[in-house]
């Protein structure tokens, strides 16, 4: 069943909040080189930096609705977002097909690939990867049962929850709606830097995350969300720095499940549950 716009937005908000990348942002406005609030009639060929804030938001919302799929990459590090990642997850998310995706993960522990179809999530990981999954730690028999083969991961079990949370970050229409709820007039960040970007500041509760948009482009879609390593003020726990990147829009995402002979059963007995 297709989720309503309101339900999908609420689900995205809940899952992203659980992932520490919250979207109740205090949105900073765009710099302007002239024009007024009614400039959208002649804005089609203008770079983002030349748009007033309302026109920028209208362009963002309109373009996000047109995106069929996106490549989503999350890089995490215990240091700063710009440093070498401790691990990377890449998902090709089909937005029009309710968030189905394919992807892979690389970390010092190991490698895995993922296929989210309409019916299930399939994961194929090496031993190092499965040893890093919480339910499989200190359970060598469970690791032996699945390593090197695809396994259908039950709903609610890791790594399904984490991957589905990340895939929700690919829902660009929902993200655009959440960004657009910010103030219509706000001072732009002064530190756009050499990348020539427009930056949208997140509140301190998110670890001071920042959205990055291209300034010299007519494509008004986010390119990155950066969150520096920080301490969660509510839990007191350290949260690693992370960079989420959106790229390769409208690529083809294949939904086919792996061949049945390559799939092994979920090791419920070895996991003790």
Which range has the top average pLDDT, 46-55, 66-75, 76-85? 66-75
Residue 27 has pLDDT above 60, yes or no: no
What's the token pair of residue 145? 């049962």
pLDDT digits (tens, 9 = 90+) for 147-179: 999 999 998 888 888 898 889 889 999 888 877
Q: How far apart are CA 165 and CA 13, in angstroms?
A: 10
Q: Which residue range forms the structural domain that includes residue 13?
A: 1-273
Query: Treating both helix axes as pointing N-terminal to C-terminal, what angle do 172-179 and 53-66 enclose, rounded to 10 degrees?
Result: 160
Q: How far apart are CA 227 and CA 99, in angstroms?
A: 23
Residue 128 has pLDDT above 60, yes or no: yes
What's the token pair of residue 140? 């060598």
Domains held by the chain: number: 1
3-state secondary structure 15-68: HHHHCCCCCCCCCCCCCCCCCCCCHHHHCCCCCHHHCCHHHHHHHHHHHHHHCC
Side-chain-facing half-sphere of 226: CA atoms under 13 Å: 14
């Amino acid at each position: 069943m297709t989720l309503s716009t309101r339900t999908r937005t609420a689900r995205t908000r809940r899952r992203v909040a659980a992932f520490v990348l919250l979207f109740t942002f205090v949105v900073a406005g765009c710099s302007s080189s002239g024009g007024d609030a009614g400039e959208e009639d002649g804005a089609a060929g203008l770079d983002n930096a030349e748009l007033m804030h309302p026109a920028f938001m209208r362009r963002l919302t309109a373009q996000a609705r047109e995106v069929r799929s996106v490549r989503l990459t999350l890089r995490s590090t215990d240091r700063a977002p710009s440093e070498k990642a401790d691990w990377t997850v890449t998902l090709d998310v089909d937005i029009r097909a309710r968030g189905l995706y394919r992807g892979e993960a690389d970390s010092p522990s190991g490698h895995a690939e993922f296929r989210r179809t309409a019916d299930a999530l399939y994961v194929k990981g090496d031993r190092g990867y499965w040893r890093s999954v919480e339910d499989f730690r200190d359970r060598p028999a469970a690791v032996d049962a699945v390593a090197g083969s695809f396994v259908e991961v039950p709903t609610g079990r890791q790594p399904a929850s984490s991957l589905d949370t990340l895939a929700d970050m690919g829902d660009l229409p929902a993200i655009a709606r959440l960004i657009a709820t910010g103030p219509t007039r706000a001072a732009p960040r002064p530190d756009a830097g050499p990348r020539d970007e427009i930056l949208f500041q997140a509140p301190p509760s998110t670890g001071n995350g920042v959205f990055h948009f291209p300034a010299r482009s007519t494509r008004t879609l986010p390119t990155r969300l950066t969150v520096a390593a920080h301490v969660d003020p509510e839990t007191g726990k350290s949260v690693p720095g992370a960079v989420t990147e959106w790229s390769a829009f409208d690529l083809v995402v294949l939904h086919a499940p792996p061949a049945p002979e390559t799939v092994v059963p979920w090791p419920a007995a070895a996991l003790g549950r």
